[in-house]
């Protein structure tokens, strides 16, 4: 990094951008290697070390107290006290400082406004002012445009330019090509925790996209050609909001046939989670329909959808998939505990549950010392196998697998993939959602690319990665030419509830 | 926060825990990261998932409670409470305290008088609740009947019965992830309904008792249903609602007692008519001993709750919702329905506990104090019993014994009955702060680590 430089860090979700920056900010400790500031190696034990070394960070999720005023939030952690007597806050001095800093850099904020009343873009500005009042030279902006409207993004870019003019260095983390090209002086592309290249902003979008997505050897999944049958799942004009009432799925049409795998690719946070949750009855649909085997299932309870023959591997196994305190056996019946043979009337049948658990553990190669071990003590891969075993152990019409191999070791990945393909081959319709492009390409018979709540294209699995990479960045081959350069983000591009790190 | 993932379960004796601990930490890496990040600094980069992954206050509390889940800590907590109780006895006795003013000159005075006081007090506590040797020798020489020998036990069981119900009520709700602070209110409604059915309905013996008990259960269930449905439908926090309903219940009782048709026509003070003998719980050991059939019902209820929790589909739902509501929802369990059911069952149990107070031998008519503190004591009992049905029953037995013995301690040793309440509170405080107990007794770290990981087996 050089003074007065805007350095963009580009990479897919999970590439390690945020982790790297958290190390820089002292939140995580590096396992190896060192950080040099002005040629001196720097040991950061916490954010306060980073701040005193002149490093400031604006997080993707703001760290502001909603009921405090702008001034109070900015002084938080570095409270000014009156006359050196601790306990007496000197609000006036703090306020003066806020006004002074915001004027110097042209960052207009009302020092007396309460945070929760401010729009997101202004809140972000408060974060930036907060960092600047700590006298930082290097400012890290972690996915700053993810939550901004196009206008707010424009303003942010302006602010960044003025900061640059004032000699501050900025690390700008993003996965949006347009913004990078608009503002960065230098671009570093990170993939799977490694720097895969540096580029100048003159590089074409195609080059950047290729670097970002990579040209890895495709994860090969042994499979025969699909023999698609009738349509099992039909989604038409589906509209779904996310938790913050922001449109996440914006009119999606989708069909999955029996005996085929439809892969949904896309950068995480483009509505995939909401799409699946809506199909599963976990999230209300605002418009459109979901049809399973000719029957409307939107508005059904989750239990009813599951009973209708839908298997569901949720994307976050520790939150949605498993009860960690429960035994492996109990988790294996988590969604069928009240059905025969596992229950008769109100009573559970522990014997049947244990017997079936033993079989599943065998069949799905779950490595555990016993079926009565709490599932939380298993490795990630084995936990995932428990979920897959549970979902595949009943007759299915449709299997929905979200991030089926996230955080799973290679051996388990292969096993889970082969199970998914096996399920396809016995005639189940399969919908796989993954932010791992390799996984989607390996499993899918057709690939739908999601971008900002829409299916931006459906292509064959043999489509070149670069083309899919462009689609994931929102660029259709036809539209590529006439897209505006610095295409600003809109607020439906918000990352969803999963770790964006 | 980084260490205890909620890992409830019974203590397991197999010490394969080191490997287990390692595995555990591996399995929980993602969560651990989520959890530690916000602590690391004022501006921790919490990944989006963190708010969900971060255990709620309730679950953290649960985790802490389980974390030291051993008989050892419980017993040591008792010992500590007894020691602190002894100090309080000495401080609160002016005569003994005055000997301390010249302790350097004649230490024997202070030590002897303290020992006499403390040992006498605790001896009476024991004699009043478990076994009185004098009564036993008296029975042998024929100076008193066998009833006197069993009297302490009878008293203990009489105090135990309602606490079992309210303790189970709190424990059941806790296992489903809900803080039921409303045991008191639910018990109050139970008392009211049971008493009304007890003196207002002319029914034959036997049936009358059953109807009165069911009425009590219904009263409690209604008082549990209200917070349950409010939480399910509107997200209102059950702690606030149940606390408020406690007040409403208490004042409803006070108001109701003096109404026409309820108040005893021969009395001017606040007391209702008496429950018909046909609706009273039969005494088990004759009319001279107070122990009544309520204790049998309590045992039955303990068994029923144990079955419900561990062997029924509803219990499965309840435990799943309590441990991970998101996963339960994803697996098709209706979390809101489960919340309502949990509170109804919890209220029902507390209502039965209340019924015991007016259909048993403690009282036969409504007075403003008829419920005593059984609802609040139920919270302590549930915590002391580690939220396991049979543990709760044992904890209730201990608290019942303290109550019974406290009465004798007061009349024979002149030590205030409130000391018993302080003892109960101290025991629970020590249990809720296992780290303190471990530090005081210098329990080995390795042992503590084993406790941490040994938690989660088949519950």
Q: What is the pLDDT of residues A244-292, one digit of tens each?
A: 778 889 999 999 999 999 999 887 778 899 999 999 999 999 999 999 9
Please judge whether A379 and B324 are an interchain contact, meaning their C-beta atoms are less than 8 angstroms apart. no
> How far apart (Å, rounded) are the C-alpha atoms in residues B250 and B259?
15
Domain residue spans in chain A? 6-213, 231-493
Please judge whether A323 and B312 are an interchain contact, meaning their C-beta atoms are less than 8 angstroms apart. no
Please judge whether B27 and A378 are an interchain contact, meaning their C-beta atoms are less than 8 angstroms apart. yes
Which residue range is the domain that position B372 belongs to?
Answer: 150-402
Residue B346 in domain: yes
Please judge whether B330 and A407 are an interchain contact, meaning their C-beta atoms are less than 8 angstroms apart. no
Q: How far is CA B83 from CA A93, A240, B76, B92, in A?
A: 54, 62, 10, 14
Q: How far is CA A133 from CA A75, A136, A137, A168, in A?
A: 9, 8, 11, 13
Give B156-220 as a DSSP string: HHHHHHHHHHHHHHHHHHHHTT----THHHHHHHHHHHHHHHHHHS---TTHHHHHHHHHHHHHH
Q: Which residue has the higher pLDDT, B426 or B21?
A: B426
Q: How far is CA A60 from CA A143, A203, B412, in A?
A: 6, 26, 69
Q: Which residue has the higher pLDDT, B75 or A281?
A: A281
Please judge whether A498 and B20 are an interchain contact, meaning their C-beta atoms are less than 8 angstroms apart. no
Asked if residue A72 lies in contact with residue A64, where contact means CB atoms within 8 angstroms, the answer is no
Residue B411 is classified by DSSP as I
Give Cα B122 distance to the centre of its chain. 22
Residue B64 in domain: no
Q: Does the pLDDT of residue B405 top 70, yes or no?
A: yes
Q: Which residue has the higher pLDDT, B298 or A5?
A: B298
> How far apart (Å, rounded) are the C-alpha atoms in residues B8 and A325?
6
**Per-residue pLDDT tens for B270-292?**
999 999 999 999 999 988 899 99
Place of tokens 């609802």: B375
Number of domains comprising chain B: 1
By the CB < 8 Å criterion, does B316 face chain A? yes
> How far apart (Å, rounded) are the C-alpha atoms in residues A131 and A129?
5
Our CA-based measurement puts residue A220 at a distance from the nearest CA of chain B, in whole angstroms, of: 27
Residue A348: in which H helix or E strand, if any? strand A347-348
Q: Identify the pLDDT of residue B61.
A: 59
Q: Identify the pLDDT of residue B262.
A: 92
> How far apart (Å, rounded) are the C-alpha atoms in residues A75 and A80?
7
Residue B12 in domain: no
Helix (H, G, I), strand (E, B) or coil at B136: helix
Nearest to B459 by CA among B56, B57, B69, B2: B69
Which chain A residue has the Cα nearest residue B311?
A348
- Residue B264 contacts by C-beta under 8 Å, 6 or more apart in sequence? B271, B272, B273, B274, B365
Q: Does the pLDDT of residue B14 top 50, yes or no?
A: no
Q: Which CATH number applies to A6-213?
A: 3.40.50.300
Helix (H, G, I), strand (E, B) or coil at B36: helix
Q: Give me the percent of chain B exceeding a pLDDT of 90.
A: 62
- The answer to whether the Cα torsion of B56, B61, B62, B63 is positive or negative is positive
Q: How far is CA B75 from CA A3, B10, B29, B434, in A?
A: 64, 17, 34, 11
> How far apart (Å, rounded) are the C-alpha atoms in residues B230 and B392?
28
> How far apart (Å, rounded) are the C-alpha atoms in residues A314 and A496?
14
Q: Which of A321, A325, A335 sits opposite B8 (nearest CB)?
A: A325
Residue B229 in domain: yes
Give Cα B163 distance to the centre of its chain. 6
Average pLDDT of every residue of chain A:
82
User: Domain containing B292 — which CATH number?
Assistant: 1.10.3470
Q: Identify the pLDDT of residue A81.
A: 66
Q: Which CATH number applies to A231-493?
A: 3.40.50.300
Cis amide prior to B304 (ω within 30 degrees) = no
Q: Identify the pLDDT of residue B13.
A: 37
Residue A186: in which H helix or E strand, if any? strand A186-191
Nearest to A18 by CA among B42, B402, B18, B44: B44
Residues in chain A: 501
Q: Identify the pLDDT of residue A82.
A: 65
Q: Which of B49, B320, B457 sits opposite A319 (nearest CB)?
A: B49
**Per-residue pLDDT tens for B48-60?**
333 334 556 666 6
Number of H helices, E strands in chain A: 16, 20
Task: Return phi, psi of residue A81, to 5°.
Answer: -115, 150
Common-topology check for domains A6-213 and A231-493: yes
Q: Does the pLDDT of residue B12 top 50, yes or no?
A: no
Q: Identify the pLDDT of residue B236.
A: 93
- Residue A82 contacts by C-beta under 8 Å, 6 or more apart in sequence? A88, A89, A90
> How far apart (Å, rounded) are the C-alpha atoms in residues B98 and B111?
12
Q: Identify the pLDDT of residue A213.
A: 64
> How far apart (Å, rounded) are the C-alpha atoms in residues B5 and B24?
9
By the CB < 8 Å criterion, does B418 face chain A? no
Residue A116 is classified by DSSP as G
Residue B26 in domain: no
Helix (H, G, I), strand (E, B) or coil at A347: strand
Q: Which of A48, A323, A372 sits opposite B327 (nearest CB)?
A: A323
Our CA-based measurement puts residue A128 at a distance from the nearest CA of chain B, in whole angstroms, of: 12
By the CB < 8 Å criterion, does B57 face chain A? no
Q: Identify the pLDDT of residue B324.
A: 94
Q: Identify the pLDDT of residue A94.
A: 84
Please judge whether B40 and A27 are an interchain contact, meaning their C-beta atoms are less than 8 angstroms apart. yes
Residue B395 in domain: yes
Q: Identify the pLDDT of residue B223.
A: 97
Least confident of A462-476, B7-21, B141-155: B7-21
The stretch B358-366 carries a mean pLDDT of 92
**Per-residue pLDDT tens for B96-108?**
888 888 888 888 8
The token pair at A100 is 């002074």
Task: Provide the ipTM.
Answer: 0.75
Asked if residue B228 lies in contact with residue B194, where contact means CB atoms within 8 angstroms, the answer is no
Residue B291 in domain: yes
Our CA-based measurement puts residue A122 at a distance from the nearest CA of chain B, in whole angstroms, of: 18
Q: Does the pLDDT of residue B253 top 90, yes or no?
A: yes
Task: Return phi, psi of residue A100, to 5°.
Answer: -65, -50
The stretch B194-204 carries a mean pLDDT of 94
Residue B435 in domain: no
Q: How far is CA A420 from CA A267, A274, A405, A417, B179, in A?
A: 22, 22, 11, 5, 42
The answer to whether the pTM exceeds 0.90 is: no
Our CA-based measurement puts residue B48 at a distance from the nearest CA of chain A, in whole angstroms, of: 5
The stretch B346-368 carries a mean pLDDT of 95
Q: Does the pLDDT of residue B32 top 70, yes or no?
A: no
- Residue to substitute from B12, B25, B27, interface A, most A β-carbons within 10 A: B27
Question: pLDDT under 70 in chain A at which residues?
Answer: 1-3, 12-16, 18, 31, 34, 38, 79-87, 146-150, 175, 192, 205-206, 213-220, 410, 477-501
């Amino acid at each position: 990094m050089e003074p007065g430089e805007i350095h963009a860090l580009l990479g897919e979700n999970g590439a390690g951008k945020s982790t790297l920056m958290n190390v820089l900010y002292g939140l995580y400790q590096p396992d190896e290697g060192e950080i040099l500031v002005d040629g001196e190696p720097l040991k950061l034990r916490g954010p306060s070390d980073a701040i005193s070394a002149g490093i400031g960070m604006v997080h993707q999720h703001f760290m502001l107290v909603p009921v405090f005023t702008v001034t109070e939030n900015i002084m938080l952690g570095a409270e000014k006290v009156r006359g050196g007597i601790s306990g007496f806050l000197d609000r006036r001095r703090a306020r003066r400082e806020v006004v002074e800093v915001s004027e110097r850099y042209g960052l207009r904020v009302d020092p007396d406004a309460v945070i929760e009343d401010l729009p997101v873009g202004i809140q972000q500005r408060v974060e930036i002012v907060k960092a600047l009042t700590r006298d930082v030279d290097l400012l890290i902006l972690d996915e700053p445009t993810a939550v901004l409207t196009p206008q707010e993004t424009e303003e942010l870019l302006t602010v960044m330019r003025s900061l640059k003019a004032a000699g501050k260095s900025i690390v700008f983390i993003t996965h949006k090509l347009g913004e990078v090209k608009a503002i960065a002086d230098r671009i570093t592309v990170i993939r799977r925790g490694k720097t895969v290249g540096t580029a100048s902003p003159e590089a074409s979008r195609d080059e950047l996209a290729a670097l970002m997505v990579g040209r890895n050897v495709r994860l090969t999944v042994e499979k025969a050609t699909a023999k698609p049958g009738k349509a099992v799942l039909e989604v038409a004009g589906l509209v779904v909001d996310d938790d913050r009432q922001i449109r996440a799925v914006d009119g999606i049409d989708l069909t999955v046939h029996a005996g085929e795998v439809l892969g949904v690719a896309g950068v995480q946070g483009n509505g995939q989670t909401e799409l699946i949750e809506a199909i599963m009855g976990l999230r209300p649909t605002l418009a459109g329909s979901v049809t399973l085997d000719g029957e409307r299932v939107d508005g059904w309870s989750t239990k009813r959808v599951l009973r209708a023959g839908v298997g569901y591997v949720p994307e976050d196994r520790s939150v949605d998939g498993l009860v960690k305190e429960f035994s492996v056996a109990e988790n294996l019946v988590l969604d069928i505990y009240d059905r025969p043979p596992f229950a008769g009337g109100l009573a559970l049948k522990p014997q049947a549950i244990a017997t079936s658990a033993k079989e599943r553990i065998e069949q799905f190669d779950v490595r555990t010392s016993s079926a009565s071990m709490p599932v939380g003590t298993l490795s990630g891969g084995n936990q995932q196998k428990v979920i897959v075993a549970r979902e595949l152990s009943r007759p299915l019409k449709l299997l929905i697998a979200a991030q089926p191999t996230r955080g799973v070791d290679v051996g388990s990945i292969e096993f889970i993939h082969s199970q998914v393909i096996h399920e396809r081959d016995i005639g189940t319709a399969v919908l796989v959602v993954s932010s791992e492009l390799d996984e989607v390409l390996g499993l899918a018979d057709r690939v739908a690319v999601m971008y900002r709540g829409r299916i931006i294209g459906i292509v064959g699995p043999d489509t070149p990665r670069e083309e899919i990479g462009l689609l994931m960045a929102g660029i259709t081959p036809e539209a590529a030419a006439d897209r505006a350069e610095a295409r600003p983000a809109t607020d439906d591009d918000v990352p969803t509830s999963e770790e964006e790190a | 926060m980084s260490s205890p993932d909620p890992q409830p379960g019974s203590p397991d004796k197999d010490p394969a825990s080191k490997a287990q601990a390692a595995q555990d930490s591996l399995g929980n890496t993602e969560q651990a990261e989520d959890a530690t990040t916000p602590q690391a600094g004022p501006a921790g980069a919490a990944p989006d998932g963190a708010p969900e992954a971060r255990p709620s206050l309730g679950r953290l509390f649960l985790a802490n409670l389980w974390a030291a889940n051993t008989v050892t800590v419980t017993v040591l907590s008792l010992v500590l409470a007894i020691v602190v109780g002894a100090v309080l006895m000495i401080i609160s006795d002016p005569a003994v305290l005055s000997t301390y003013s010249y302790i350097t000159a004649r230490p024997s005075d202070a030590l002897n008088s303290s020992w006499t006081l403390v040992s006498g007090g605790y001896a009476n506590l024991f004699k009043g609740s478990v076994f009185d040797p004098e009564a036993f020798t008296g029975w042998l020489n024929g100076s008193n009947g066998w009833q006197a020998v069993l009297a302490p036990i009878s008293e203990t069981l009489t105090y135990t019965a309602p606490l079992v119900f309210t303790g189970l009520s709190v424990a059941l709700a806790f296992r489903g992830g809900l803080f039921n602070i409303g045991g008191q209110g639910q018990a109050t409604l139970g008392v009211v309904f049971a008493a009304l059915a007890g003196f207002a309905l002319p029914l034959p013996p036997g049936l009358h008792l059953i109807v009165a008990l069911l009425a009590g259960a219904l009263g409690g269930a209604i008082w549990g249903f209200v917070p349950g449905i409010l939480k399910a439908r509107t997200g209102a926090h059950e702690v606030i609602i149940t606390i408020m309903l406690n007040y409403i219940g208490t004042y409803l009782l006070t108001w109701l007692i003096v109404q026409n048709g309820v108040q005893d026509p021969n009395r001017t003070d606040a007391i209702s008519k008496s429950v018909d003998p046909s609706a009273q719980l039969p005494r088990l050991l004759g009319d001279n001993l107070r122990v009544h059939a309520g204790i049998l019902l309590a045992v039955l209820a303990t068994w029923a709750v144990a079955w419900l929790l561990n062997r029924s589909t509803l219990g499965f739902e309840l435990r799943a919702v309590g441990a991970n509501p998101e996963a339960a929802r994803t697996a098709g369990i209706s979390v809101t329905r489960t919340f309502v059911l949990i509170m109804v069952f919890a209220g029902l149990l507390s209502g039965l506990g209340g019924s015991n107070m007016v259909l048993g031998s403690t009282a036969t008519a409504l007075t403003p104090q008829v419920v005593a503190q059984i609802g609040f004591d139920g919270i302590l009992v549930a915590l002391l019993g580690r939220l396991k049905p049979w543990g709760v029953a044992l904890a209730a037995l201990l608290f019942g014994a303290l109550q019974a013995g406290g009465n004798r301690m007061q009349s024979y040793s002149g030590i205030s009955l409130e000391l018993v309440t302080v003892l109960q509170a101290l025991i629970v405080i020590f249990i809720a702060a296992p780290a303190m107990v471990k530090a005081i007794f210098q329990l080995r770290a390795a042992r503590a680590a084993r406790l941490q990981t040994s938690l989660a087996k088949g519950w």
